[in-house]
Every structure is written in structure tokens, then in C-alpha cells.
Amino acid sequence: MGYLDNLILNTDNYKHCHYPLYPPGTEYVSSYIESRGGDWPVTQFLGLQAYLREYLMRPITLEDIDEAEFVVREQGMHFNRENWLGILNDHGGYLPVEIEAVPEGTVVPARNVLVQVINTDPKYFWATSFFETALLRAIWYPTTIGTVSWLSKMAIREALERTSDNPQVIRNVLHDYGARGVSSQQSAALGGMAHLVNFDQSDTVPGILAAKRLYNAGKVSNSVPNSEHAGFCAWGRAYEADALRNMLDVFAGNAGGVLLLTDTYDHENCVKNIIGGELREQIRNFPGLVGVRPDSGDIVEVTSDTTEWLMDAFGYETNSKGFKVLPPYVRVVQGDGVNFHSLPQVYMELERRGLAADNAIFGMGGGLLQHWNRDTMNFGQKASAAMVNGEWRDIAKSPTGAGFKVSKAGRLALKSENGTYVTVPKGSIPDSENVLQPVFRDGKLLKKWDFTELIANAEQEVPESYYIEHVRQMRTVPAGQATTVPA
């Protein structure tokens, strides 16, 4: 959608009338971005480099200025052509701004500075806030999706620690199926990329491409042949077993595995009598994992029910924690109805029945990439300092009736203290202790994050307080225990 790439138009119309509203003598404006609190106590910061490389490293042109002037004036809005000709002639078309940011992938408590922006040329003090609309959107969405993914990972880790002997499988447990559930391909790219910081599983191709193109990622995702109802329905109800058998035959040479849909007609019948009956020996001998995929029903009940039906057919072992585990060649793959809130409930039911967490693999779609907005974590960008006639002024808003909108004042820094983070005045700590790093200045990328660095930042140990509210309910389940001998 190249017609949307004009930086001067990638904003709200009213931004064009803001530059004369600052006090005479304004030279510099400093602003910052934070989550002002919301549904969760933490944020996993992601997405800034993608925006910088796709937009701020592209200079504006005379044609961009001409187009913007026509469009903005047509709307009845003020437009200062001289401002933009100055950007073109004085700075080669690049916005004269410097941006500092938290290392991408890092999990930081909410209400802390994540990004700080300041103009580098006093002639263009207005530039700091002009691109707020695009910058804020570029950050709140992938950061929110990354946080959803990371907190889900904490729930998975909790379940594995309680009931499994295989905590190392954690990056393979949650698969991204969200490409069709988002509002745009760009959303799929940014949200899918954010999820891959925490997990190695995805079918969202735009997210894989974004990680590779914008963060130098290598192999970031795994997938295996999956099935859809169209292909199975085409065989007819009387030939459901043949449809499943055909998929096993076709992909027998695939080392990864296959995922078999079992709810085309009657899920329970399919699992008990086809998967666990007619095809039992073929599945036992399949050279890879066979995933049994219910795609309807009550997610909490059907995941545990399916696990137990498969154990009736294929047996199980009891692990060191006393929980039953299917043979390694067969697993439940649950995608329908999986979201941020239901996933812990599924694990709680598995545990209640004495079933290990690693019996099931999960996929999320719209619940991962789409069910969120800017207000989920109350993201905002606010000016906090301005230099007027050579003197810095600390500035902040403090509206009545909306305490969470009270903004921070002054130039800011982020300090790591006792295993957590705190926002402090810039200059109160040495630059070497400031977690915010300069990443962009005047059209140039100062720090290029590699995807492996994002993953390493995301996997740093954090205080339990970061995620305890999401997993607390899981700790109320009495520890289950298998009481029968392995079949």
C-alpha cells in the first residue's frame, strides 16, 4: 500500500496546526512513550526497529510535500509548506529527531519510560510530536502482542513446572494461527513477529518475514502439515477414516509430523474408533508426531477428554511428578477457543485429572493477534520537557478525573534497580547505567537489534511479581496424581 507511505500524511490531520501553538522561543521538545497501566503490570517492549527501518529511514521528497499540501489543505487544515521544504533542504528529507529506547524484547513494569524522543535541530522543535500517531501505533501493537505472548508463556511454564518432566519444550507449545484473524497483513507481520520472540511456532508467514527482514532473523519458526475441513469433507462422511489415512500416507516422509482434524463430524467417535481403532497401528508406526486436533467444543473439557481417550488407545507413562503422559508420537493439538484467559483454565483441568501439561500443544489465532487495542495497556506519548529561550522547562499534564493520565515531567532515564526498573530524571544516573539506548538520529539507525538479541532479552529472569496475577489461579489446583499403572 505504497500510497500510504508519505510520512507527512502518516498522522492525524490536526498535527499540521500544532507547530505555532508552542511558546515563542521554543527550541527543543522532549517526549516519551509508556504504558500508563492497564490489564497487566508489565510490558514486553517490541516493534520500534521495524518502524524506524520501514518509515523514518526513508526521506521525504518534494512530491511528498506537494501531495501532502493538496490533501491537508483540501481538508480545511492549515499546512506550512516552508516547514517541510526546510526538512528537505536542511536535512535531506529526514526528520531531525533522536530516539532512545529500551532494548527490544525486554520485559519492563508498566508506567516506565520505554521510548524518548527529542528534536536535534531547534528550528524543527515541532518534529518531536508530529509523528506521534505513527510512532505510538508502531509500538503499542507489537508490544501488546508480545506481552500477551510472554504472559501466556509464563502460564505454560507454570504448568510444565507443576506437572511435566520436560520444561525444555516450552518454546514449541504455543503456535501462532492468527494471520486470518487480524485486520491487515501489516498487523499479521508485526504481531506475528512479536510472538516469535517468545515461541518457535507459527503459521503466520508475514510475521516470519518481518523477523527476517527487519531483525536479521535466521530460522525462527517450525510448522508441520496440517489439515482443513474442506479436504476432509470432500471425501464424504462415510470415508472419514480414508481421509485421515490418506494424510498419514501422503506425509509419512515428513520428519516433523502431521496434524489430523478430528471434529469434521463426530469428534469423540473419530478419536475413539478411527484414531484409536482403525488407524491405531499406522499412528504408532508413523515416523513423526501425530497431532490429534479437536477444533470445536468446550476447550477446557475437550482437551482433557481427548487426552484421556488417546491414553485409552495408546497407553501412557507416569512421570516423576506422578502425572500421566501420552507416548511421544501422539499429542492433542488444541487451537479452537485458545486465548489469554482460557489457556490457564485448560492447564488447570489437565492437572486436576492427573494429566501432564506436555500432553497438549496449543495454537492461538485472533486471541493472540487481534483481541487487543491501545487502551488494553493505556499507551500514550506525552511531552515532558521543553527548552524555551535556552532554558529547560519540565512539563506535564495532570487532568482531574483521570489519574492514570497524569504524565511524567522532565527529561527521563530508566534505571535497573534490584532486579526491576524505575524511571528517574535524566542526569541523575551515569549514562552507562541508563537502560534507554540511543537507537536513531537524523535518519540513521544507531543500534540494529538482531532477533537473537530480542529472544535473549525476553528470556532474562524477572521477579515473580511480573506475572504472578496471571498464574495465581493455577496454584490453587490441588496437585493431581495418576493412580493407575501404565497401559
Q: Find out whether 336 is annotated in a ligand binding site.
A: yes
> Is 146 a known ligand-binding residue?
no
Whether residue 410 is annotated as binding a ligand: the answer is no
293: annotated binding-site residue?
yes
3-state secondary structure labels for all residues of the chain: CHHHCCHHHCCCHHHHHCHHHCCCCEEEEEEEEEECCCCCCEEECCCHHHHHHHHHCCCCCHHHHHHHHHHHHHCCCCCCHHHHHHHHHHHCCCCCEEEEECCCCCEEECCCCCEEEEECCHHHCCHHHHCHHHHHHHHHHHHHHHHHHHHHHHHHHHHHHHHCCCHHHHHHCEEECCHHHCCCHHHHHHHHHHHHCCCCEECCHHHHHHHHHHHCCCCCCECCCCCCHHHHHCCCHHHHHHHHHHHHHHCCCCCCEEEEECCCCCHHHHHHHHHHHHCHHHHHCCCCEEEEECCCCCHHHHHHHHHHHHHHHHCCEECCCCCEECCCCEEEEECCCCCCCHHHHHHHHHHHCCECHHHEEEEECHHHHCCCCHHHCCEEEEEEEEEECCEEEECCCCCCCCHHHCCCCCCEEEEEECCEEEEEECCCCCHHHECCEEEEECCEECCCCCHHHHHHHHCCCCCHHHCHHHHHHHHHCCCCCCCCCCC
Does 39 belong to an annotated binding site? no
Is 203 annotated among the ligand-binding residues? yes
237: its cell numbers: 462422511
Establish whether 294 is an annotated binding residue: yes
- Per the annotation, does 180 bind a ligand? yes
Binding site: what residues are annotated?
A: 180, 203, 229, 293-295, 335-336, 366, 374
Binding site for diphosphate: what residues are annotated?
A: 180, 229, 293
Binding site for beta-nicotinamide D-ribonucleotide: what residues are annotated?
A: 203, 293-295, 335-336, 366, 374
